[in-house]
């Protein structure tokens, strides 16, 4: 990737809290088109923990220098990767490191089963 693309994540308090993430952790960004409040929602997932937050998609709270989730939602297939770069009191900033389908063994089946469990 020629330029850095940063996004903020929040709502971590609804899952495992900000303490579940450390600088340089790799996380997966997974589209969540069935989200009732945001049809361009992007979950932040750490296998095997599961969802740890969402990419901010509200232009009012997106930090300066970060993209809203809707800004890059259509750039990747179902999932992509990011690295945790900064941690603040209630928000994490991630840098996208892949903008294509992530070919990780068993990741597709893991995400499919995880999405099925969340719908149940």
Residue 101 has pLDDT above 70, yes or no: no
Nearest by Cα to 22 from 81, 80, 94: 94
Q: Which residue has the tokens 């340089």?
A: 24
Q: What is the pTM of this model?
A: 0.76
Residue range 64-81: average pLDDT? 88
The torsion region of residue 57 among left (phi > 0), alpha (psi -120 to 50) and beta comes to: alpha
pLDDT at residue number 62: 92
User: Cα separation of 62 and 66, whole Å?
Assistant: 6
Q: Which residue has the tokens 């790799």?
A: 26
Residue 102 has pLDDT above 50, yes or no: no
User: Cα separation of 11 and 38, whole Å?
Assistant: 14
């Amino acid at each position: 990737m020629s330029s850095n693309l940063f996004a903020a994540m929040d709502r971590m308090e609804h899952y495992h809290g900000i303490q579940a993430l450390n600088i340089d952790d790799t996380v997966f960004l997974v589209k969540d088109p069935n989200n009732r409040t945001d049809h361009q929602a992007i979950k932040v997932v750490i296998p095997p923990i599961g969802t740890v937050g969402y990419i901010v998609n509200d232009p009012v709270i997106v930090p300066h220098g970060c993209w809203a989730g809707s800004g890059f939602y259509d750039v990747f297939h179902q999932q992509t990767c990011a690295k945790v770069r900064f941690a603040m009191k209630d928000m994490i900033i991630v840098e996208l490191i892949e903008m294509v389908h992530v070919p990780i063994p068993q990741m597709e089946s893991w995400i499919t089963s995880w999405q099925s469990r969340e719908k149940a």
